[in-house]
Amino acid sequence: MLIHTNEKPHQCNTCEKRFSRRGRLKKHYLTHSGEKSRLRDVCEKWFWSSADLKQHMVTHYNEKLHQCHICEKRFTCTGSLKTHLITHTNENPHRCDVCEKRFARAGHLKIHLKTHTNDKPYRCDICDKSFAHGGSLKIHMLIHTDEKPHKCGVCEKNFAQVGHLKKHMWIHTYEKPYRCIVCEKRFSENGVLKRHMVTHTQEKPYRCYVCNKRFAHSGYLKTHMLIYSNEKPHRCDTQIHTH
């Protein structure tokens, strides 16, 4: 009932902060005393509560106790499982207040917000290109090193990003996780599904800035733009000899 009444009867004697449960107050007292209640035997990391310790212990043993009932994928903690389940429901609860674009994870929204602020603190020392977060910089560095650390166990093809390897594996497993909600046709890539959805919505988001003609796909627009540029990118290399 305290959830509905928002009542917090337990008050800290030091900072007068209030809590709804006595257990949370006891945990809060540790922040004033500087005392941490648990010690991890492997990495000697300290934790405020036994629950945090148990969750941390899983990272050492790589134990994945929580399984998705839809695709049977396993996770180390319930939080990761809950986040994963959103991928099956196509639910995007996190909305950008600037462009109203929605995301399944709060972390993805935080990364997206940097596109509006143009904040790119991570800079490549080789080509001076900047990125919004460190993960993008690490992936970018593989371009300079030509490193492809992720190897397919079936055909031994190598990839620079683990995400590209996962998508590649669908070629071998014939897995198509992305389903059209209109005709239930399935696709192996989300990008292909998005292009397919245009056939149902008749949407044409790509506009020619010269004649204002609109197209359903960016590839169609690029081909159309060649008309105004007089560019002919495809050259026939076959030589015809006449006598």
pLDDT 10s digits, 1-24: 777 788 888 888 888 888 888 777
Range of the domain at 79: 66-119
Radius of gyration of the chain (CA): 26
3 and 56 share a domain? yes
191 and 202 share a domain? yes
In a domain, 126, yes or no: no
In a domain, 53, yes or no: yes
Return the closest-CA partner of residue 221 out of 230, 235, 209: 209
5 and 39 share a domain? yes
> Alpha-carbon distance 160 to 145, whole Å?
10
> Alpha-carbon distance 202 to 199, whole Å?
5
Instruction: Specify the higher pLDDT residue, 83 or 235.
Output: 83
The structure tokens listed for 54 are 């148990």
pLDDT tens readout for residues 20-71: 887 777 777 666 665 554 444 556 666 666 667 766 766 665 567 778 888 8
58 and 88 share a domain? no
For residue 33, the model assigns a pLDDT of 63
In a domain, 135, yes or no: no
For residue 39, the model assigns a pLDDT of 43
Instruction: Give this prediction's pTM.
Output: 0.34
> Alpha-carbon distance 133 to 122, whole Å?
6
Return the closest-CA partner of residue 131 out of 111, 108, 151: 111
Q: Is the pLDDT of residue 193 over 80?
A: yes
pLDDT tens readout for residues 135-160: 788 888 888 888 888 888 888 888 88
- C-beta atoms surrounding 153 within 10 Å: 9
In a domain, 37, yes or no: yes
| CATH code of the domain covering residue 223 | 3.30.160.60
SS3 readout for 121-161: CEECCCCCCEECCHHHHHHHHHHHHCCCCEECCCCCCEECC
Number of structural domains (the chain) is 3
In a domain, 112, yes or no: yes
The structure tokens listed for 114 are 């940097």
The structure tokens listed for 208 are 């020619």
For residue 62, the model assigns a pLDDT of 59
For residue 243, the model assigns a pLDDT of 46
54 and 78 share a domain? no
In a domain, 125, yes or no: no
CA neighbours closer than 13 Å in the CB half-sphere of residue 30:
12
In a domain, 27, yes or no: yes
Asked whether 104 and 84 are in contact (CB, 8 A), the reply is no
185 and 198 share a domain? yes
Asked whether 63 and 69 are in contact (CB, 8 A), the reply is no
162 and 195 share a domain? yes
Q: Is the pLDDT of residue 178 over 60?
A: yes
Compute the average pLDDT of residues 103-113: 81
Where among 63, 81, 101 does a domain terminate? 63
166 and 205 share a domain? yes
Where among 119, 136, 158 does a domain terminate? 119
Could you tell me whether strands 74-75 and 94-95 are parallel, antiparallel, or unpaired per DSSP bridges?
unpaired
154 and 225 share a domain? yes
> Alpha-carbon distance 157 to 214, whole Å?
39
For residue 172, name the pLDDT band (cuts at 50, 70, 90): confident
188 and 160 share a domain? yes
Q: Which residues on adjacent β-strands are paired with residue 205?
A: none
> Alpha-carbon distance 116 to 118, whole Å?
6
Report the phi/psi class of residue 230: left, alpha or beta, with left for phi > 0 and alpha for psi in -120 to 50: left
46 and 72 share a domain? no
51 and 87 share a domain? no
> Alpha-carbon distance 159 to 164, whole Å?
6
In a domain, 173, yes or no: yes
